[in-house]
Chains A and B, each alone.
Chain A
């Protein structure tokens, strides 16, 4: 919403500079994007260089066919000689003149200059040069009654400061200059003028025929007939206001409707009365019905679209855009003015369905006060009669029961309590009354323009609070029963992150949305952002593979990445099963991944149990393993070449096994006995099977670690040597050599029996 300051000051006489108004509005009412200045700069007496002038003589320039040579009276006694390129005026015309030294809106500085050998001592101005209109065709001809020499700024809005305000969707009342004026009046505690627009006398009685068939979609339709409409351009002040308000002037009739919308917030529409067959019908579109809108687009209507129709066809999208056939055009002499009210959601849907957003639809979809239509009609009528010179000849106002003003119970002490700032009841009352609320005891009647937004006590608390936000103190809750801590899962996730970071892994964030086709079981999005983001992921590993691959391409080294995030699995219920996973990708192949997974298990005090597994599509078939709640392995070279280790763990399964607490073991008081044992066994035997048996038979075992696996000349074909480092320790006594020998013999015997293992010398 663009609010020109001179327009605002018509409704509230605020002296504060634009920046101060902007600052207060931004805190208490609506965001002010910026304050801009348009038109002639008002600096260093620049406005003094712009005058009303009267052309005394005008004729062809002696040296140029396309230029006029004029003598212009600018109230100085002596006239000035000015060269001009336009021909739409002659002697006697009243014009706008800029004198040498003037700075024009586009920044050009005017100098006394010679044009084709003739001195030009000023410039006769067009609308567009003053940013007062879009017309570049000729110079601006002013009313004859204006005296030469009059400062132009007294007669025309030459320069203007404009507040660019971004309102919130709950405040359609602020999408109008008058609505902003109401806020400004409250903020600065000033008098607010009565809303603009007073009906002139209605001379005739040419009642238009109006029928509302869908009162839910259109609670009110006020139509007015005007005859003898001299269609033409608007006066400069009106054009200037529209331009400052961000709208292009079109014709006096259209400009008046737009002016009223900007002034009061109620969009209007004008139809060429002669093109309407019969009368107005407000209804839903029929099946197969079509409408060509003002922008020249032929549109197929949806049965849910609310339309304005006559007795034969749809003639406008209600509230969104008029139709081409009934548009006001040059030959128009009579019009039907529509000041209606439309229900928001229907307008929003139509506007979305047809991809049409207009100044009008933007206001309707936020909800316009149905009571406002009469005021808007009055202002439009006043202007059509006074500005355009039209004759008002008929009126009809069709509506059912208009909504009552909501009544809300309000306790000022409750407001102070919720805000945390003691605001006297009298001050609260004044604040509300300035905004148009009526108070009687603890009962508040809400003004019609706030009826959608204010319906309960807390809404009134906001009305009071927003004017005192800067005074609200800084406190903390009184902490009745507060206790903050991470849950076990959150704490353990941090442990895992820290373990991995300590190992040199870097955390990646990859997309939860993946292409379809990776996993047929994945939950797909019916209307995805793109083919690449069409389903919810069921594994983290693919994102990490992509991240690793990007890092390889970037030439980065020491690539080791992990991610802790959710995957989304079909659950059979309406919501998928969201599971936290931890995955990693690292240099160093299978052993690299396994080392990390071992460290993760150690970090959680978990034993790692591992078994061979088939690699699936992701892993090298010979280097794949299953874990409890996950897998690890070497990535299939087709996925990422170069021997990359990878794993993925389900955190719920992992955390379920984490011990509540770690019990103390005495590993200090008595020394451990260390021994290295190498066994020759069959080639197919897994080292882990050997280790498991060692654990089983030797309760005194403190540690067992495979430190060498050998195949070759030193062992028979088909056999391998597996070397174990073992240590034995008792928490109760020092183990003797005899003890150690006994344990070793037990191990050797059992391994021989189970696996045919031979102890190497």
Chain B
């Protein structure tokens, strides 16, 4: 028999099969038990023709397998081509939770200052007048001490009016260097309106070390404001007065909406007031027993709600206490 002719015929039959059934038929015809090739193999007598027949059989079997895979793949492709979804349909519903906007801002600020090497301190919310006022150098008769301004539990105990008492507690507890931020609720006897609530949140920062300067405060606030409001921001210092800092500074950040051109948010000044800051007043060091000749430091305080209102355009901070999922899930 002409093995080569037979093999050519089989190869073209395999290649020509266009369905698995046709291929199977061709396989039985050329490689089945009763196929001429198998019969020839059974009858072979000499080594040489046996080897040549076997080689032909192996090649054909490989060809069948390859064609089988090809056809199977084509079949799958055909089936998949018909299995179509509407990709614009919604996915399986997942309940999504949200951190409160103030927590998100709080974490951002914490992370900025952790990166700068600060620790985060949780101060008390109920404080003594000693920590809330005396040790912070509030003079007798300062309006904040009044029962009309603050919420007292009794003559000596009140809800903290700023996060600053934590500064004193930390400085009392150890020697410099101190690099800390403290974030949390503060309380004032304010009438609620779009920008006031008796309970609100502040971040307080304190750095006390050898050689701390006003320029360090300016640089630190610049980095923090850029992190919160964008890399293009600039910082401006204005003189001010706080009992616990000297010099006292109000930092302004360049308006992120108009880039300094003037808009409603910055009241057409190009600058937005951010809070209070300054160099720690030496009277505080005297309270906690630090040597003001050796150490200097700066402190600052910002309102978290104010950041939320400015950055996200919230019209009324009282909405942050409504806990309406429609609002909270925007952020």
Contact = CB atoms under 8 A, between A and B. Distances in A.
A477 B179 contact: yes
B248 interface: yes
Contacts of A28: 239
A485 B147 CA distance: 38
A560 B239 contact: no
Nearest to B124: A578
A31 interface: yes
A483 B152 CA distance: 36
Nearest to B328: A506
Contact of B209 (A169, A480, A486): A480
Given A550-B323, A551-B325, A509 B209 contact: no
Contacts of B29: none
B215 A497 contact: no
B117 A479 contact: yes
Nearest to B325: A556
A133 to B, nearest CB: 32
B133 interface: no
Interface in A85-126: none
A507 interface: yes
Contact of B222 (A474, A533, A558): A474
A575 B151 CA distance: 14
B249 interface: yes
Contacts of A556: 324-326
B185 A560 contact: no
Interface in B105-121: 107, 110, 113-120
A227 B179 CA distance: 67
B219 interface: yes
A47 B321 CA distance: 55
Contacts of A512: 125, 185, 187, 199
Interface of B is mostly: mixed
B154 interface: yes
Interface in A405-424: 417-421
B152 to A, nearest CB: 7
B152 A462 contact: no
Interface residues of B, number: 84
B141 A344 contact: yes
A578 B238 CA distance: 37
A502 interface: yes
Nearest to A31: B238
A194 interface: no
B75 interface: no
Contacts of B110: 486, 490
Contacts of B146: 352
Contacts of A497: 99, 103
A589 to B, nearest CB: 16
Given A473-B215, A476-B116, A568 B323 contact: no
Interface in B202-224: 207, 209-216, 218-220, 222-223
Interface centre among B110, B126, B140, B189 (most CB of A within 10 A): B126
A551 B324 contact: yes
B47 interface: no
A348 B213 CA distance: 36
A709 interface: no
B324 A474 contact: no
Interface string A373-417: 000000000000000000000000000000000000000000001
Nearest to A499: B97
Interface string A438-476: 000000000000000000101101100110011011111
A462 B100 contact: no
A513 B198 CA distance: 10
A356 interface: no
B309 to A, nearest CB: 15
Contacts of B96: 504
Nearest to B119: A484
Nearest to A453: B241
Contacts of B42: none
B177 A529 contact: no
Interface in B123-175: 124-128, 140-143, 146-148, 151-154, 156-157
A547 B281 CA distance: 43
Contacts of A477: 179, 207, 209, 211-212, 216, 220
B102 interface: yes
B329 interface: yes
Given A469-B239, A475-B213, A547 B323 contact: yes
Interface stretch (A198-206, A245-253, A519-527): A519-527
A216 interface: no
B95 A504 contact: yes
Contact of A465 (B117, B247, B321): B247
A220 B99 CA distance: 61
Contacts of A511: 199, 321
Interface of B: 94-100, 102-103, 107, 110, 113-120, 122, 124-128, 140-143, 146-148, 151-154, 156-157, 177, 179, 185, 187, 189, 198-199, 207, 209-216, 218-220, 222-223, 235-241, 246-250, 279, 281-282, 296, 320-326, 328-329
8 contacts: A469-B238, A472-B237, A482-B179, A483-B117, A484-B116, A501-B98, A510-B323, A560-B97
Given A469-B238, A489-B122, 6 more contacts: A461-B246, A512-B125, A551-B323, A556-B324, A561-B323, A565-B185
Closest A-B pairs by Cβ, 10 of them:
A420-B215, A420-B213, A504-B95, A482-B117, A168-B241, A462-B247, A501-B97, A547-B323, A474-B219, A466-B239
